[in-house]
Amino acid sequence: MKLLTIIGARPQIIKAAAFSRAVITWNNEENREFIEEIILHTGQHYDDNMSAVFFNELGIPNPDINLHVGSGSHGLQTAKMIEGIENVLIKAKIDGSAFDGVVLYGDTNSTLAGAIAASKIHVPVFHIEAGLRSWNMAMPEEINRIVCDQLSSILFTPTTKGMENLIHAGFCKDSEKVHFANGKKQYVVQSGDVMYDNAMYFVSMAEEKSDIIEQLGLMPKHFVLVTIHRPANTDSAENLTSIFNALLDIAEGKANGEQTKIVLPLHPRTRKLLPEKLSSKLMQRLNSCKNLLLIEPVSFFEIIRLEKHAQMVMTDSGGVQKEAFFFETPSVIFRPETEWVEIVETGAGILTNADYNRIITAYQTLYNKPIHFPPLYGDTHAAEKILKHIVNYCSSK
């Protein structure tokens, strides 16, 4: 059995680690059909700090194929990916070693491209993290999710809320309505979350191998971790100004009378845009604030240590807010909505968008507040369940 795993952004590299471990475990068992996993990197994230270091740290084999697509407009970037992925799939068919399916993660342009390229030439698509919805079609990720779900042979949704979304959208666990090549049906599976698999698998390793807390001179549960990367925030002078005014006031003790250490690993895009979007006065204030630490992008081990030991996380990232929940760390979410609605519903996260007053209020609300973190994301065996369903699908006639 031959599977093509498509990744392009660093969250997908992390998710792919769980699936690759499941494949290795499967292949080590006796009397099982051997699974060959080919990893294709689109090159959507091409900076070493944003991509290559993750392969080394997580023990994932280097990609067998790299399209080196790089940056560009959504249309240009996705078109290059579709062309490259289609060529790989067609060449495999011509060579007599066709792929039995394509494994996709999340909601990036790499996900969209993989779904379109594979479905057009009748290669089954297996979508991990299906069913997530922010209900905001202005988000490119929302479009990517919806299109990929529609084109998938198996939709693996991580949560009960994701399953509800798919049922309401007309999907069911065993679809009689949708048929693919050879009369195969479409299936929906609530699998649990591969990111939860990884967080629990790697957390002890991170504690051993990363000393970032010590390097930065931080006290556990006495600092705030911040990440900002979404274009809705980084490309808007108004939004970025509002966020940094709030962060500086929190760091300087103006929010609750107590100075707070803030750690902000700067996404390359954010670092580039700061001088363009912030006033010189605000940049001067930012550069002189000793409690707001602007650092380079961090590795996976470093980010999960920071998430685990932070008093609070403030982010516009879907993955970071979810990992914070895994480690029972509350989050302030710089977005108007989130696909991880259960985090907000439990009270472990508060949506603020880029609104100064809402950010400050959310920080004050979550500061030292007792919060319940129910087990929403499975049992750390999501990747194994996903692989078994894929094998059964590919083996059925």
Distance of CA 227 to the CA centre of its chain: 13
C-alpha span between 282 and 285 (Å, rounded): 5
| Structural element, H or E, at residue 158 | none
C-alpha span between 17 and 19 (Å, rounded): 6
C-alpha span between 266 and 226 (Å, rounded): 9
Indicate which residues carry an active-site annotation. 229
DSSP-assigned beta bridge partners for residue 104: 127
Give the position of tokens 């060579």. 95
Report the residue count for the chain: 397
Are the C-beta atoms of residues 16 and 7 closer than 8 Å to each other?
Answer: yes
Main-chain dihedrals φ then ψ at residue 355, nearest 5 degrees: -90, 120
Between vectors from CA 218 to CA 217 and to CA 224, what angle results, nearest 5°? 140
Neighbours of 62 (CB within 10 A): 10
C-alpha span between 263 and 257 (Å, rounded): 19
Main-chain dihedrals φ then ψ at residue 104, nearest 5 degrees: -125, 155
DSSP letter, residue 312: E
C-alpha span between 293 and 286 (Å, rounded): 9
